[in-house]
Chain A
Amino acid sequence: MATASPSVFLLMVNGQVESAQFPEYDDLYCKYCFVYGQDWAPTAGLEEGISQITSKSQDVRQALVWNFPIDVTFKSTNPYGWPQIVLSVYGPDVFGNDVVRGYGAVHVPFSPGRHKRTIPMFVPESTSKLQKFTSLCLVASSDLQAAPPTGDKW
């Protein structure tokens, strides 16, 4: 069944940002968004969201649970630029300002079915000791201006 013209296919993503493990931080919320190539476009659902703020459970698990729904459908003609979900986690610092606690990204799974993904998160580190010290005092920490684009890393 070879077709000469490009054919459109749909990708439906349902799921949730379930929980996180951050041993050092508490009272966190997360933002998700999708990054995709030029041939892709969302047709239904929300492509970004902000979760509630959650605190660590008191038991030994120390889990931060969001249970935050993800529901989006993409349409495309080309697998190149397959969508990635980009997660940013924020929490308060000593002075109560919102500071980034982690960024992470993963490709949306390629095969139909149920998948569980654990995403490692990282935070940009200050390059000099002086900047580390001033970032403790000032509001702005070393933050990324926009969500990391596909294929580029700092």
Chain B
Amino acid sequence: MIHFVLLISRQGKVRLTKWYSPYTQKERSKVIRELSGMILNRGPKLCNFVEWRGLKAVYKRYASLYFCMCIDQDDNELEVLECIHHFVEILDRYFGSVCELDLIFNFHKAYYILDELLIAGELQESSKKTVARLIAAQDSLVETAKEQASSISNIIAQATK
């Protein structure tokens, strides 16, 4: 299973974290510190796997951003590597050629998308189309609620004029 997902910038700034195994706040910071130290220092032509504390971090760099998923030693590394790419493609489709800034300012969106992709550290949906459809549906739900709210407040505002 995937124990956690990390998005870390080249400068070592955390852009997204998601934990599927119970880590305390302290442990989480330690994990991030250790792993980002290891991964950011790796050269470009090395393999995408780093062994760490009996687990294995599968990572891939996209522009200035490192995507990392940590799995058990005997999990299938390439499968997870393509999970990362699958996630990136969905983000890309959603934001329209996604860049680090998109993820910085819309980190909550990234969380929504990740939740449609993984649950319990396992892949839940391998169709990009389905994920996109579900996210769109969620967005529209939120929009509708907002419109409703604003229309009601409009009404109230007008009534109290």
Is this pair of chains taken from one and the same complex?
Answer: no
Residues of B bordering A, CB below 8 Å: none
Residues of A bordering B, CB below 8 Å: none
